[in-house]
Structure 1
Amino acid sequence: MSGDYAKRNSQGDHRLKQDDPVAIRLLKEEHHIFRTLFDKAEASDGAALVPIAQELCMRLAVHMTIEEEILYPALKPVIGEEEVDEGIVEHQSGKRIVAELENLDGTEKLYKSKVHVLGEETVHHIDEEDEDLFEEAKEAHAAGKIDLDALGETLRTRQAALYDEIAAKGEAEKTGDAVAEELETVGRG
């Protein structure tokens, strides 16, 4: 990881655009945060890396949850299964690393490497979403096949509820959503 992911936030389909419906805008805003946090993680070591990694794990868990519960099921019948299923598989990989990180304290030899790989995988995934999935979804929205503004409000409401749950638990560093044994069931059905 080169530490300059955030530069992409102002490039191509990664940019927030005037014609981005609410759902796309919400998710791209999160993608911008991820790229910025992964740059900060790459520039950090030791104890300074831990809170950044914890924030990334929490945010990623919420982000993946709203995509899997709301976005992906809504898009599957509209743009097809292949791209959505690929996103689910990429989420599984990310959840494995998040689960591992949540069980570490940051002093382990491979801690930074795990954060690094999570960054590479996440940025690859969100870049593909920005460039392919979201553009296809916007075309379907423009054609009246899906209402990404209404879907965006649903995503925003669920996202807020998940953050409220995390705040109520007082465990911002642990999401509890990424238990490795449960990951095998994600995407079945």
Structure 2
Amino acid sequence: MNRHDKPRALALLHADHLRVRKLFQDYHSLRGLDEEDARKAELVDDICYELTVHAMLEEEIFYPVLRSAIGDDELMDGAELEHAGMRELIGQLDIIYPGDDHFDATVAVLAEEVGHHVDQEEAELFAAAQRAGIDLERLGGQLAARRAELEEDLSAPAGTADAIELHDGARRAPRPPD
């Protein structure tokens, strides 16, 4: 791996971030165009789907491993609360449509919250993961496998507890699943 490459887990999560940012950019480029409502609806569906899958990957695999390895509950609790806020906005977008009051504003708030979350995650959580002794290559394999399961069936149950195994040098044992 050269110095510009991210470990596999971080590269996969970063690719998700880029994909969602691009979808938000595409959404914002539609202002004033004919047929914009139908395309906006498609883009918002894509955004919500991508965010849902991404959040599931982080909450089921990445966050538990990172929480166990770094011992910074405040940082991890903040990331999980941001996910809860995004889920709330996704729920709102599930019942309103382009042209409805507050649709564009709700998408704008979601874009802003996602942008903030991504910036913080890539600056703080990714750095913590690299310092923590987590096997990020193996974790990347687990994230990729879980993504494939979720793309097949979004309601597929989470895998086994081996996803929370830590690399040598981890400071704390994994927390039991809730």
Q: TM-score if structure 2 supplies the norm length?
A: 0.78
Report Cα offsets for 1:8-43 as digits up to 9, x if no partner.
Answer: xxxxxxxxx634111000000111111111111112
Q: Which residue of 1 aligns with 2:14?
A: 28
CA distance in structure 2 between the aligned counterparts of 1:109 and 1:161, rounded to whole angstroms:
36
Q: Which runs of 5+ in 1 are unaligned?
A: 1-16, 167-188
5+ residue gaps, structure 2: 31-35, 155-177
Q: Which amino acid aligns with 1:105?
A: Y
Q: Secondary structure at the match of 1:58?
A: helix
Question: Residue 66 of structure 1 contacts residue 158 of structure 1 at CA under 8 Å; is this kept in 2?
Answer: yes
1:51 and 1:162 mapped to 2: Cα distance?
A: 20
Post-superposition Cα deviations, 1:82-107, rounded to whole Å, max 9, x if no partner, equal: 21111100000000000111122323
Aligned residue in 2 for 1:58: 49
Question: CA RMSD for the aligned pairs?
Answer: 1.8
Cα distance between partner residues in 2 of 1:50 and 1:113: 14
2:60 aligns to what? Answer: 69
Report how far residue 69 of structure 1 moved.
Answer: 0.4
Give per-residue Cα distances to partners, 1:154-180, cap 9 Å, x unaligned. Answer: 0111111111115xxxxxxxxxxxxxx
SS of structure 1 residue aligned to 2:6: coil
Provide the rounded CA distance (Å) in 2 between the counterparts of 1:63 and 1:55.
12
Q: Is contact 1:75–1:137 with CA below 8 Å preserved after alignment?
A: yes
Contact 1:20 1:138 in 2 (8 A): no
- Between the aligned residues of both structures, percent identity stands at 33
* 8 Å CA contact retained: 1:70, 1:155: yes
SS at match of 1:67: helix
Q: Which has the larger radius of gyration?
A: 2
1:126 partnered with 2:118:
yes
- C-alpha distance in structure 2 between counterparts of 1:106 and 1:162, whole Å: 27
Aligned residues: 149
Q: Is residue 2:92 matched to residue 1:100?
A: yes
1: CA distance, partners of 2:49 / 2:96: 14
Within the candidate set 135, 147, 157, 1:159 is matched to 147
Q: List aligned pairs for 1:174-189, cutoff 5 A.
A: none
